[in-house]
A and B are shown apart, each in its own frame.
Chain A
Amino acid sequence: MADLLTHVLLAYAGCTILSWHRPIPTHWIAITMVGSILPDLNRITLIVTNRTFEAFLGVPFDIDALSTLGGTVLLAGIGSMVVTNQHRRTFAALLAGALSHHFIDGVKAYADSAAGTWLYPITWARHPTPSLYVSSDPAVLVAAVSITAIVIVTDRYVIQTK
């Protein structure tokens, strides 16, 4: 995975670019940014391990399922139930954010040049990855900050002044 700040910034930048074609209210951009962190909720294992979940539930358990397509669809569904009346839009915004996360993670480096099994449960197939980055490389964040800064400046001083 890329770091979460990269995912959140690129979700914001992506929404801002899309809003140049069809305006997107800022509260939906906020939901999309939250959606971009959903696949990394499996990092809760830094606090509560899979073994703790297994001891509590009494069955084998792997929280990494949250970082797959199936897991994020269900998380987006849960998220869409905690808003007042805009459930379908919230679901779509959360899922869009999560998909942007999966897309970015789908091009990270694997030594065997195949991405992770994030398409589960549709398929266990691992698509080829161009191995563009490793997440601990600060250059990834520098690129994300630069892209976001350019998008914000363009939005404020070019698009909104038209």
Chain B
Amino acid sequence: MADEPATRETVLVVEDDVLVRMPIAQYLRDCGYKVIEAVSADEAMTVLLHRETVVDIVFSDVDMPGSTDGFGLSKWIREHRPGLDIILAGTVPRAVNAAKELCDDGPTPKPYEPHAVHDHIRRLLAARKATGRT
């Protein structure tokens, strides 16, 4: 704990595909952020309404199941949490690049190669496709 940055920003990652969410969340943790994971906009709103949970940045997929998608979440945040930064990343490459930009500015900037993260996610998704899971 002693070597953690004093101000550790919290990123709320909203992504319904575990094989994408898992590496992105780990990537951001490695850059020094505290990361909260949500699998839908509904879960994200539950987190954001929870008074004890501090969130500095929302990092969200666009196309998600549930009562609303990433655009709806963005609109909800503008109304209920104005001033909270939201990053919408509609595709895996955009998500990886947005994560890299966060890492560049993060508490523990690391020279991560976004292509490596993207390749890792691509391999996970390809392996799932090969095993017939959708």
Co-complex (A, B): no
Interface residue ranges, A against B (CB under 8 Å): none
